[in-house]
Amino acid sequence: MKTIVISLAIIVLGTVMVYAALFSSHLQKPRSMIRNDILRYTPIGISMDEVLKAIESKKRWEVERISYDRGYIDYDNVVPGWRTSEATGYSVVGEKSITVYLGRRMLFWNMEASWGFDVDGKLIEVYIRETMV
């Protein structure tokens, strides 16, 4: 019985390690480093169309949302509700936005990136967010 339990524990641990290595290795860096990597592909000041082309070149990235009339919500920046365009209590960055699913980070976290653009469609900020699955 003890051998079976140990064997099952090794199988489960091995499966978790293989899953983590296959599906999340590119997202193991801190959010700030992932943001810096993304800024190399999509530097501040480029157009929304150029960002969309860069996103399309990344096979693993999936566009979740494109908004031509609203920025993205910065969930790390809480401000008084009267300063936001919504009553969320979080700041809204930009006048337009793109949000992309980057992939899974470990077993229970999804990573997404949001690009915020000014009224002319020029990139002003990139935001990386972790969400629980």
Q: What is the pLDDT of residues 11-38, one digit of tens each?
A: 766 555 555 444 445 677 889 999 999 9
Q: What is the pLDDT of residue 9?
A: 65
pTM of the model: 0.75
Q: What is the pLDDT of residues 67-119, one digit of tens each?
A: 999 999 998 887 665 555 555 678 889 999 999 999 887 778 899 999 999 99
Backbone angles phi, psi at 99, to 5 degrees: -125, 135
Tell me the domain boundaries of the chain. 26-132
Mean pLDDT, rounded, for 115-126: 97
Give the span between the Cα atoms of 103 and 121, in whole angstroms: 26
Q: Is the dihedral of CA 43, 44, 47, 53 positive or negative?
A: positive
Backbone angles phi, psi at 69, to 5 degrees: -135, 15
**Using CA atoms in the order 10, 104, 132, 15, what is the torsion angle rounded to 10 degrees?**
-10
> What's the token pair of residue 33?
């480093």
